[in-house]
Amino acid sequence: MDLRRLHLGLDRFSGLYLWAIFIAVFSVLAPLTFPTMATVHLLASTQAIAAIAALALLVPMVTGQFDLSIGATANVAGMTAVIVQTKDVMGPLPAVLLGAVVGFVVGAVNGFVVVRLRVSSFIATLAMGSILAAVQVIITGNVEPVPVVNDAWTAMTQADIFGFQFVVVYLVVIAVLVWWVLEKTPAGRYMRASGSNPEAARLSGIAVDRWSWISLAASGTISGFAGVLFVSLSGPSLSFGASLLLPAFAAVFLGSTQLVPGRLNVWGTLLAIFVLATGVQGLQLVTGVQWVAAMFNGVALLAAVALASGRERRQAKGVVRRRRGDDTSAGPAPTGAAEPDPAELPAAAVHTR
């Protein structure tokens, strides 16, 4: 048996192994509180919003853009949905739609600044987060709104379905939708081509700027909806958005090392969210301290970025070695240009030819 081949899928499924280790260890250390269905239901419900926020971040990152305003967008959209109901301006369903529209507008403005004004998405969305913080103070007076008293509003996320709160259903639907768009449609191929090699994508006829703009608008819409779900689930809060950003980045980067290594993907992101949440929950039950979440997510983000960067460097070195091998074995190059092999082109480029 070739031991070099016996790696048990660690390059793709290390997150699943780590998850199993967390479950086993914390089940031993906290046998009365951790290995229970109550913990499962708690993790699923509390992490559903964080997972939706991570998916909102994933979409523009596929096109090579960052959205640092997802937390602030969620906060403003959620507060807007609460205020219009407490002032009897709208009912629950119109308020939900308004929150999503607020997110879309924010994302569209981000796209305009990035695409038309040529500002880095990192700077543009960071500035937008600060602007939204000011907008939130304006619309709330920096006073937390009273909770919405409406059965339909609370049932939207808190209704019971097989022991889980209904907010989990929204996560599943959004995850499947984002996965389908990114993996099964031409739009997803164009977005990935735009993010992996923008210049090659442009030469292939792909409207890179348009897809960047669309991805940022989609990110804002998903973030706005996530904010509405949060305030329906947990009540209004002036500061919940800030807690969404770091876990989202950690999940997206760590997820890119899972299931489909080296590729930003939906299911790897969701796996990372729940692996990290399981570790945080277990440590909190065992130690009883509250700073574990911030520490754990920060370390996880550093580790995830290091792993993703290391994988990229190894892949780049492998490509260089293969090219050198091909050059030495192919002999002198023939005269005249040859038609490139379609298999070597990006999927989006093949599609547009």
Residue 267: pLDDT band (50, 70, 90) is: very high
Give the rounded distance of the alpha carbon of 250 from its chain centre.
Answer: 9
pLDDT value of residue 333: 47
Topology adopted by domain 10-326: ABC transporter involved in vitamin B12 uptake, BtuC (1.10.3470)
Residue 106 CA to residue 109 CA, distance in Å, equals: 5
Beta-strand runs (E) in the chain: 160-161, 164-165
Q: Give me the mean pLDDT over the 283-291 stretch.
A: 80
Residue 10 or 131, more confident? 131
- pLDDT tops 90 at residue 33: no
Distance CA 141, CA 83 (A): 11
Cβ atoms of 266 and 291 closer than 8 Å = no
- pLDDT > 60? residue 216: yes
> Residue range 94-123: average pLDDT?
95
Contact 35, 42 (CB under 8 A): no
Q: How many CA atoms lie within 13 A of 199 on its CB side?
A: 0
d(CA 93, CA 288): 39
Please state the φ and ψ torsions of residue 339, each to the nearest 5 degrees: -70, 130
> Closest by alpha carbon to 341, among 333, 350, 331?
350
Report the predicted TM-score, pTM, of the whole model to 2 decimal places: 0.84
Per-residue pLDDT of 74-104, as tens digits, reads 999 999 999 999 998 989 999 999 999 999 9
Predicted local confidence at residue 319, as pLDDT: 55
Taking residues 138-147, what's their average pLDDT? 90
Cβ-based burial of 143 (10 A; exposed 0-12, middle 13-18, buried ≥19): exposed
Task: Please state, in angstroms and as integers, the Cα–Cα distance from residue 41 to each residue in 17, 47, 222, 308, 332, following that order.
Answer: 21, 10, 23, 31, 64
What are the angstrom distances between the C-alpha of 231 and each of 190, 211, 237, 268?
Answer: 35, 31, 7, 27
Q: What span, in angstroms and rounded, lies between the C-alpha atoms of 209 and 198?
A: 9
Do residues 260 and 184 touch, judged by C-beta distance below 8 A?
no
**pLDDT over threshold 80, residue 10:** no
What span, in angstroms and rounded, lies between the C-alpha atoms of 251 and 52? 11
Structure confidence by residue, pLDDT tens digits, 148-170: 888 899 999 999 888 889 999 99
Q: For residues 316 and 69, which has the higher predicted lDDT (pLDDT)?
A: 69
Please state, in angstroms and rounded to a whole number, the distance separating the CA atoms of residues 273 and 33. Answer: 21
Mean pLDDT lowest among 125-134, 180-189, 303-312: 303-312
CB-based burial, 231-245: b 16+ in 10 Å, e otherwise:
bbbbbbbbebbebbb
Distance of CA 52 to the CA centre of its chain: 7
Query: What is the rounded average pLDDT for all residues in the chain?
Result: 84
- Please tell me the number of Cα atoms within 13 Å of 39 on its side-chain side: 20
Q: Report the SS3 class of residue 239.
A: coil
Tell which wins on pLDDT, 310 or 139. 139
CB atoms < 10 A from the CB of 309, how many?
Answer: 11
Name the percent of the chain lying above pLDDT 90. 47
The pLDDT of residue 329:
56
Q: Residue 347: pLDDT above 70? A: no
> What are the domain boundaries of the chain?
10-326
